[in-house]
Structure 1
Amino acid sequence: MHEHPCPVVFLDAGTLPCGLHFDERLAQRLHYQAFDRTAPEQVAERIREAEVVVLNKVKLGAELLRQAPRLQRICVAAAGTDNIDLKAAQALGIEVCNVPDYGSDAVAEHAIALLFALRRHLLSYVTAAVDGRWSAAPHFCWHGPRIQNLGGSLLGIVGRGRIGEATARLARGLGMRVLFAQRPGRPPAEDERPLDELLAQVDALSLHLPLTAETRGLMDARHLARMKPGSVLVNTGRGAVIDAPALAAALRAGALAGAAIDVLDVEPPPPDHPLLQADIPGLLLTPHVAWASQEAQQRLAQRLVARIAEHVARREPHAP
């Protein structure tokens, strides 16, 4: 066995409420510290002696990585790695591990739930049931915003990864027709359309894109204006894929019937964020919880523990 326990630090463990749980054998081989959150000015000190760093949204740039001479592995508690300077990590011999498929079904279910909420105006009807409008109705039901089925409608999906495909599978099970945006640099598949063409056709659009230089601000004023009148937009991917002021303007102008957003470009958002204003009609926000089902959290935690165990096994190749 290695003489010294492996130093492991989780910088923002508060993002994973279920926590990491190690069996007794592995726990004995670790010196594990879990911090609920780590401010930028605290990062360097907390990673200085670590061999393994676990994090979700904490940013690790080249300068910080150079200040952690013992660091060998970064375990990202998420699918995306855009908060890590990957080139610097590679140059320093630091392995970066993410967990790409712990919550595809959870995010897909949330996207479909948001579509139901938008197309059936669920929040409006929940409010009307208790604020006196139903009690004052002349009939057995209260009629408000137009309710539309999901079945038979056309869903456009931008992003054909695991989550996009899982969302398509659920949508088809509800009787929706599904088209994908054509992937850049590839000939279109039979069920793919160029983005501008897709936007003009679909009744609902669901975004499942990673954040890259090409996708940042993709849904800007021009692309939002291309969307079919009366359509709705859902984003459970990355917040910065949408130009937030442009979306707020489109909703205020009635260009879209509604939008449901689980992610913003700044998280947590400041109170003056363009999409937190009270005068935006048809906007439904959830606080980045599409991924956070109990099952997905447990799966993520188990895979993070496995990544740590892999490092310990390589560190102690003859350990029983």
Structure 2
Amino acid sequence: MIPHIVFVDRDSLPVPVPAFGFPHRYTEYAASTPAQLIERCHDADIIISNKVPFTAQTLAALPALKLLAIAATGYNHIDVEACRRQGVAVCNVRHYGDETVAEHAFMLMMALMRNLPAYQRDVAAGVWQNAAQFCHFGAPIRDLQGATLGIVGSGGIGQAMAQRARAFGMTVLFAERKGAAVVRDGYTGFDALLARADVLSLHCPLNDETRNLIAQPELMAMKPGAVLINTARGGLVDEEALVAALKFGQLGGAGFDVLSVEPPRDGNPLLKARLPHLIVTPHVGWASAEAMARLAAQLSGNINAWHAGERCNRLD
């Protein structure tokens, strides 16, 4: 029987996907809500999903499903244990955006350490034109050379971020797991890292252990004036607490490419803040043309490998 492949949120990957190397029937939808999944995927053998959630209840209503191919690295929206119980293989796409996301995080760090948004605002407001000197001295400007970067998450993106930071003369520390009793070689205790880092950059997955990893206590424990970068997942940080820390001057800046709910149709504390030392980008750190092409190729490769009974990036 020819397998039916359904891509439930095709518009989330705006590049061509290489052809699958076996006979199949293919259906795609620009986007899908969780409520539409059962109707659209009732006879699907293979489902491709980027960010559409699949709960145990939804999976139980899809008895034909054999493979759930995630068009991304993160899989916190998939009940992997339910897939395992149901015999559904799950695969994701890995390391396609390590360099790309690291570049985005590095860009945010540089802009905030130099207070670029604040100076852009001042120039637009005519402050420079009225300055008494040849330049306008506004928000503080700091060098990366000699500063300390703390990284949470030592995977591909974290390592790529570290490589770039060292090239700029920064000291790089990798954080041990929060609450860990033992600090591994090559890592720094979580609390000690918070106190030392001039910049803290998050590159870890979102799960039950990391949700609200950075909340009010952690923000207060950070080095005064430090910069917080998050290009991982929005749920890692308590957003209300972050805005308060920025407004009260505990932090020197924050750069976020992710929010707790995306898209933020009902608003978000970070979008309401409108602070010159806060940069929010719309989850595009991964979205260079080169990275998306690598993602699409690996996505197709995962499905072809699974169908051929070969090794793919399985999670289950």
TM-score w.r.t. the length of structure 1 is 0.91
Would the aligned equivalents of 1:240 and 1:265 in 2 still touch at CA under 8 Å?
A: yes
1:68 to 56, 62, 65: 62
Q: Contact 1:13–1:19 (CA<8 Å) still a contact in 2? A: no
Q: Which residue of 2 aligns with 1:7?
A: 4
Residue of 207, 231, 243 corresponding to 2:202: 207
Aligned Cα root-mean-square deviation (Å): 1.9
Contact 2:118–2:277 (Cα < 8 Å) also in 1: no
Maintained 8 Å contact 1:13/1:35: yes
Helix, strand or coil at the partner of 2:242: helix
Who is 2:126 aligned against?
132
Residues 240-295 of structure 1: CA distance to partner in whole angstroms, max 9, x if unpaired?
A: 11011111111111111111111111111134322111454521101111111111
- Greater relative contact order structure (CA < 8 Å, 6+ sep): 2
Would the aligned equivalents of 2:121 and 2:276 in 1 still touch at CA under 8 Å? no
**CA shift digits 1:3-22 (9 cap, x unpaired):** x4321111111111113131
SS of 1:78 mapped into structure 2 = coil
Any stretches of 5+ residues in structure 1 without a counterpart? 316-320
Contact 1:208-1:235 within 8 A present in 2 as well: yes
CA contact (8 A) 1:221 1:247 kept: yes
**Which one-letter code corresponds to 1:214 in the other structure?**
E
Q: CA deviation at 1:39?
A: 1.2
Deviations 1:142-200 (A, max 9, x none): 33212111111010111111111111111101111101111365843454221111111
Aligned letter for 1:22?
Answer: A
Q: Distance in 2 between matches of 1:132 and 1:72?
A: 61
Distance 1:96 1:186, change over 3 A: farther
SS state of the match for residue 171, structure 1?
helix
Unaligned runs of 5+ in 2: 311-316
1:123 matched to which residue of 2?
117
Counterpart in 2 of 1:33? 27
Matched residues, percent identical? 43
Please list the CA deviations of residues 114-136 of structure 1 after superposition, one character each: whole Å capped at 9, or x if unmatched: 00110011122233344433333
Q: CA deviation at 1:230?
A: 1.0
Aligned equivalents of 1:243, 1:103: Cα separation in 2: 25
Work out the CA distance in 1 between the residues paired with 2:218 and 2:27.
45
Paired position in structure 1 for 2:314: none
What is the TM-score of this pair, normalised by structure 2? 0.92
The answer to whether structure 1 residue 292 and structure 2 residue 304 are counterparts is no
**Structure 1 CA distance for aligned equivalents of residues 208 and 124 of structure 2:** 46
Counterpart of 2:245 (choices 247, 250, 256) is: 250
AA matched with 1:265: S
Aligned residue runs from structure 1 range 1-320, under 5 A: 4-22=1-19, 26=21, 29-183=23-177, 185=180, 187-280=182-275, 282-314=277-309
